Structure 1
Amino acid sequence: MNDSQAPRGGATAVSTAPVVLPRRLGPSALQVYPIALSGTVFGWTADGPTTTAVLDRYVELGGTFVDTADSYAGGRSEIMIGNWMRGRGNRDAITLATKVGKSADHPGLSAPAIRAAVEASLRRLRVDRIDLLFLHIDDPGVPFEETLLAVDELIRAGDVRYFGGSDHTGERLLEARIAAGQLGVAHMVALQKHYNLVHRDEYEGDLARVAAQLDVGVLPRFALAAGFLSGKYRSRADLERERRGAEASRYLNRRGLRVIAALDRVAHELGVEPATVALSWLLSRPRVVAPVVSVSGPQQLDAIMAAPRTPLARHHLTELDRVSA
């Protein structure tokens, strides 16, 4: 969806639809909105006024779940989100997630790196706690015991409420759970993973089975495949016109275009945008709690926030499963 395009459903379709209920994140006490707004572009391609407009529109449409990382725009994403929350006075209404492990200042998942990274994130975000801390990498060079003890210390201190993993395999998630049990410390309640209609194999299968076994809540990232599943890239010319075209180019093939055609059919039948349908499909998958979605402008959020209010019929799901298999 181009920023200049008005979604078929529009704000009216969103506002008149049923109320969206929060979803419980794994075994935690967190009840989160089923669309997480990513801060990936804040401070990078989105300047201050754009970031504020995006965050304001997200909340206006009912959103309460904001996800960022200490490495996004060298920490500027956290600063901009923190300034926005302070200016709006809405910290307690927001479920706040950030990640550590990739920043240039505090790389890796050693105990000193985790402690320093979280302290820096708390300062940039201007908060006294992080609701959900993600290990942004799997750092096999550091024993899980060291990482888990460091995170548990932060949880006991009240700096972090819960934590999860990112890019961890099913085997590594099991290793972490066993180590946490042996140590008697907090365990992961969530997992962020690359997962969408045109990128299914990495999550589905072994990792999905482990997530179910461990009762882990799944937050799919790259939920719209760098914008490809919004339908904005249908030719090489489309790729060349957009900044993120290079990221989406891997999907511009026969299979990808079959998926787009199916999204078009379902979207037309329901009177919504293809992006809405793609996210609704994710929300129908087992263990999925909230796709993590990035936007470049507030006008894109109408279609995205319509997804939890747009349940797909069985024949819609069957068609999308078939063309994306």
Structure 2
Amino acid sequence: MMDKRQLGSSSLEIVPLIFGGNVFGWTLDQDASFGILDAFKDLGFNAIDTANNYSHWVPGNKGGESETIIGNWLQERGGRDGVVLMTKVGGRFGYDSKPNVKGDYIKEEVENSLKRLRTDYIDLYQTHYDDETTPVEETLRAYEDLIKEGKVRFIGASNISPERLVESLDTSAEKGLPSYVSLQPEYNLFDRAKFEHLYEKITFEKQIAVIPYYSLASGFLTGKYTSEADFGQSARGAGIKEKYWNDRGRRIVAVLNEVANAYSVSASAVALAWLLAQRTVAAPIASATKRHHMDAFVEAVNLRLDVASLAKLELASS
């Protein structure tokens, strides 16, 4: 059995790798999703992250498909108490629409999420995209009502400015309102600057658990892209190449593979273990579409990188 970590100041305890549910209803249909969820749980993991708008970008989808699949799986398999269920509100159902975290909207959307997830409560309910026209107190008071009603246990934030995050935390403290216990930012070995310069100090000082998304940089940090030809083997290869395939990206991948070989693990495991070694990171979020992809998850939570390996990765990604 793998060790668990407490999620920030909450009472939630998770094995420190969270499954990213954006693939459900997108690259995985319901049957395939059930198989992946079964395998994830059988390996000993217990935390799943999704959102009310996943997977709205798929033609024919309306949003909520990921939650529906997870809910159907929970209904069929049982064991809800053994799963730490995380979802988000305020997401954009269309890329041209604005996020919304007004109190009434949150209360309306939580009912939709609970219905799709086929559960009475959400363990971690997160502000997905902050709506800066809504006062933070209005958002927090809506969350307060949901916590009092037993529909939500704890709250977190995702795409929020550092200023609004601090304002939210200060408002919670001043007015005795629920406080964000987690932050879900984009953070990985390649994409470091924004989090480390703008958020890392806040999360450390306020004891906010960091649960990074894009932990493997859309697959770039799996180590499978080592030459120009490799990008033609993936449907997402062109986009990954454009964003990541530069001198710095090549240097990161080379060192990732070097460290992976030294430990006899996958490059994915090293990239995830590097995140787990950061002082504010509670658990990275990662997805899988095949059972064997999750071998790296197990390797990562059991891997303790030594000082020399961490230094190599720091230097390569600086």
TM bin, normalised by shorter chain, reads over 0.9
- The residue aligned with 1:282 is 275
Q: Distance in 1 between matches of 2:181 and 2:238?
A: 33
For the 8 Å contact 2:106–2:142, the answer to whether it is kept is yes
- What are the Cα deviations for residues 154-187 of structure 1, in whole angstroms up to 9, with x where unaligned? 0111000001111223222110012122322111
Using structure 2 for the length normalisation, give the TM-score. Answer: 0.93
Give the secondary structure class of the aligned counterpart of 1:203: helix
Structure 2 match to 1:304: 297
1:103 CA displacement: 4.6
Which of 81, 100, 114 pairs up with 2:70?
81
Confirm or deny: 8 A CA contact 2:99 2:129 kept in the other structure.
Answer: no
Provide, for residues 10-31 of structure 1, a one-character-per-residue CA deviation record: whole Å limited to 9, x for no partner. Answer: xxxxxxxxx4211111111111
AA in 2 matched with 1:80: I
**Residue in structure 2 matched with residue 40 of structure 1 by the alignment:** 22
- Supply the distance in 2 between the matched residues of 1:152 and 1:212 (Cα, whole angstroms): 24
Number of matched pairs: 307
Deviation per residue, 1:187-208 (Å, 9 max, x gap): 1000000000001001113310
The CA deviation at 1:107 is 4.9
- Percent identity over the alignment? 40
Matching residue of 2:140? 148
Cα deviation 1:233-266 (Å, max 9, x = unaligned): 2334322331222442211111111111111111
Distance across 2 between alignment mates of 1:244 and 1:175: 38
**Equivalent position of 2:39 in the other structure:** 57
Q: Aligned equivalents of 2:232 and 2:73: distance in 1?
A: 33
1:223 aligns with 215
Q: Which runs of 5 or more residues in structure 1 are unaligned?
A: 1-18
What CA RMSD, in Å, does the superposition of the two structures yield over aligned residues? 1.4
**Counterpart check, 1:241 vs 2:233:** yes
Residue 207 (structure 1) aligns with: 199
Instruction: Name the counterpart of 2:154.
Output: 162
TM-score computed with the length of structure 1 as normaliser = 0.91
2:247 matched to 1:265? Answer: no
Counterpart-to-counterpart distance in 1, 2:35 and 2:185: 27
Secondary structure class of the residue paired with 1:163: strand
Quick one: distance in 1 between partners of 2:250 and 2:99?
A: 39
Amino acid at match of 1:151: Y
Paired residue type of 2:176: G
- Structure with more contact order per residue of length (Cα contacts < 8 Å, sep ≥ 6): 1
My pick for the range that moved more, 23-32 or 232-241, is 232-241
Q: 2:211, 2:283 within 8 Å by CA — same for their partners in 1? A: yes
Q: Shift in Å at residue 303 of structure 1?
A: 1.4
Native 8 Å contact 1:107 1:113 kept in 2: no
**One-letter amino acid of the counterpart of residue 10, structure 2:** S
C-alpha distance in 2 between matches for 1:107 and 1:266 = 41
Contact kept in structure 2, 1:233 and 1:248, CA below 8 Å: no
The CA deviation at 1:32 is 1.2
